[in-house]
Amino acid sequence: MGRTDVLIVGAGPVGLTAALELRRRGVTCRVIDKLRAPVPHARAVGIQPRTLELWDRAGVADDALAAAVPMRGQLVYIDGVERSRVGLTLPPDVPYGFAALPQYETERILTEHLERYGTTVERGTELVSFVQDGGGVWSSVVTETGRTRDLRSRYLVGCDGAHSAVRKGLGLTFEGGAFAEEYMLADVETDWSLPPGYAVRATRPGGDGRPDDLLVGIPLPGRSRYRMSMLVPPELSSSGGPPDPVAHGTREGLRPELAHIQAVVDRLAPEPATVSGMRWSSVFRISHRIVDRYGTGRVFVAGDAAHIHPPTGAQGMNTGIQDAVNLAWKLALATAGLTTPSLLESYDAERRPVGEEVVGRTVRHATGGGVPSGPDDLGTVMLREAQLLVGYRDGPLTGALSGGPGAPDSGDRAPDCGGLVGPLTRYGVRLFDLLRRGPDHTLVLYGPDTAALDRFGGAVAELARRTHGRVPVVALLGIGEPVEGNSRVPLWSDSRAEFRRIYRTEAPTAFLVRPDGYLATRFGPDNVTELSAYLTRVLRT
């Protein structure tokens, strides 16, 4: 019998992220996956800027950026004529852009980081059943040798995909439906002269206005390499096979050949092109579904186990990674005995509305031609696609809003800024550099001068008392103020006034940043009660 704090089922990007977030907080966990080896497929490809921000906090971003290629935009062709060219541009204050990284590379990078904490994936191990009680969860698994074992964990997290055994074991509903179309996927090289870094969408409209022929190419690392998707030809259709109640994902045993891919390229590519070097191909189906709740008691689901939807905009894997980060820091506090059950209940309250919005939006995009549309301006659309507008202002952990219109406030993403200069630095560092120094909450103080910062003494004392000194404090001074090296807390100068501008503050203000990079609360030096109220919502008193 094995014991651990958290058992994670599924070693895809979501499960690996959950494990990494737990291990870097000192929580023991085991990761099992029924597959004997990682799948070498370029399935989920797009990496959103928000995911890179979270990977920044975990120390993963540099390795991901070294392996990825930039996504610069999308070219849309109808009947061979270019109809639009959309650039994936974001405000200069956003530290990362859109990237393309094959899923097998994402899993490799996350696995390597996880192994640095002494945790390896237990492959060929399948969850067959589980039972939870007041103290934890008993899980029955079958190992690679066919042996049945019982594992004891305090919590169980299902990151085991669209056909999740954890979701089924919990009896969660998975409401939604399936698209009638089937698609081919292939990882190939092509010799067209289209600009690098641009996704390509080429269609031929049918009689009802919807495309009756489709080619989508997403750039991958490597010379002229793309992950291509297209409608499946009749000879590869799996419609005659056994019914799939979920109908989502790749179909085993159906492998398109290079000739199938070339035929579609011949029909739809905007210029003559030859495909070659196929690494992998498959047939897949798409569904749109979401669970009725993200967990029960000590068992939770995340990623495709909780929500599935069209791949439009590369929202799925990124949403799942953010599920994992949201849940992990709360589980870390729970395993340490520092919180109440209500904090774990906030996982569903915060993340399920996000899942519902993503499912609805991607379905609208998929049925509307694959291009984001609606009343919002292009800048807002790009921020939403980048998942930078995800927030929890309506969540149970959010307190009073005090920042004013347009200001980052309780429940919002904590944006980055640059130009922070310390007593021993000549070049400015980023706020994210300071937030990366620990896996817990961080209190950021801003004041135009040291006298203003001193007014936060009560808040700092309250935070230290309630968290036993676990939460670091960073203090920022207004532009032009001298930075001394003997301060009680790390002191930095907002030398370019970027923090003041981005956080929209002139007066002394404190910002408590959550472990997942969202603002827990924003308050002034005379409002320690707002900080105390948040800590009461999160910590066991």
| Segment (H or E) for 521 | strand 519-523
Q: What is the pLDDT at residue 39?
A: 81
Q: What is the pLDDT at residue 94?
A: 95
DSSP 8-state code for residue 510: E
Query: What is the residue-wise DSSP string for 325-384?
Result: HHHHHHHHHHHTT-S-HHHHHHHHHHHHHHHHHHHHHHHHHHHTTSS--SSS-HHHHHHH
* CA atoms of 527 and 459, how far apart (whole Å): 8
Q: Do residues 218 and 70 make contact, with C-beta atoms less than 8 angstroms apart?
A: no
* CA atoms of 139 and 121, how far apart (whole Å): 17
Query: What is the residue-wise DSSP string for 250-274?
Result: EETT----HHHHHHHHHHH-SS---
Q: What is the pLDDT at residue 355?
A: 95
* CA atoms of 26 and 173, how far apart (whole Å): 33
Give the start-end residues of each E strand in 165-206: 174-190, 198-205
Q: Do residues 203 and 214 make contact, with C-beta atoms less than 8 angstroms apart?
A: yes
DSSP 8-state code for residue 222: S
Backbone angles phi, psi at 417, to 5 degrees: -155, 165
Q: What is the pLDDT at residue 340?
A: 86
* CA atoms of 209 and 28, how far apart (whole Å): 53
Which one-letter amino acid corresponds to residue 44?
A
H-type alpha helices, 97-142: 103-115
Q: What is the pLDDT at residue 208?
A: 63
Q: How many CB atoms lie within 10 A of CB 226?
A: 25
Q: Which residues contact 462 (CB under 8 A, 6 or more apart)?
A: 528, 531, 532, 535
Per-residue three-class SS string for 275-323: EEEEEEEEEEEEEEEEECCCEECCEEECHHHCEECCCHHHCHHHHHHHH
- Mean pLDDT per 10-residue segment, the chain (541 residues): 91 97 97 91 88 96 96 93 92 95 95 98 97 96 93 97 96 89 91 94 77 90 92 76 60 81 95 94 89 97 94 88 98 94 95 94 72 70 94 93 90 96 90 90 95 93 91 92 78 95 95 97 92 92 66
Q: What is the pLDDT at residue 371?
A: 55
Q: What is the pLDDT at residue 365?
A: 74
Bridge partners for 87 per DSSP: 73
Report pTM: 0.94
* CA atoms of 111 and 206, how far apart (whole Å): 44
Residue 501, helix vs strand vs coil: helix
Q: Taking each helix axis as running N to C, give the angle between helix 457-467 and helix 528-538, from 0 to 180 degrees, rounded to the nearest 10.
A: 10
Structure tokens belonging to residue 502: 């981005």
Find how far residue 423's CA is from the centre of its chain: 35
Q: Which residues contact 148 (CB under 8 A, 6 or more apart)?
A: 128, 140, 141, 142
Residue 129, helix vs strand vs coil: strand
* CA atoms of 238 and 244, how far apart (whole Å): 11
Which one-letter amino acid corresponds to residue 404?
G
* CA atoms of 499 and 492, how far apart (whole Å): 11
Nearest-10 Cα torsion for 328, 333, 335, 336 = 150
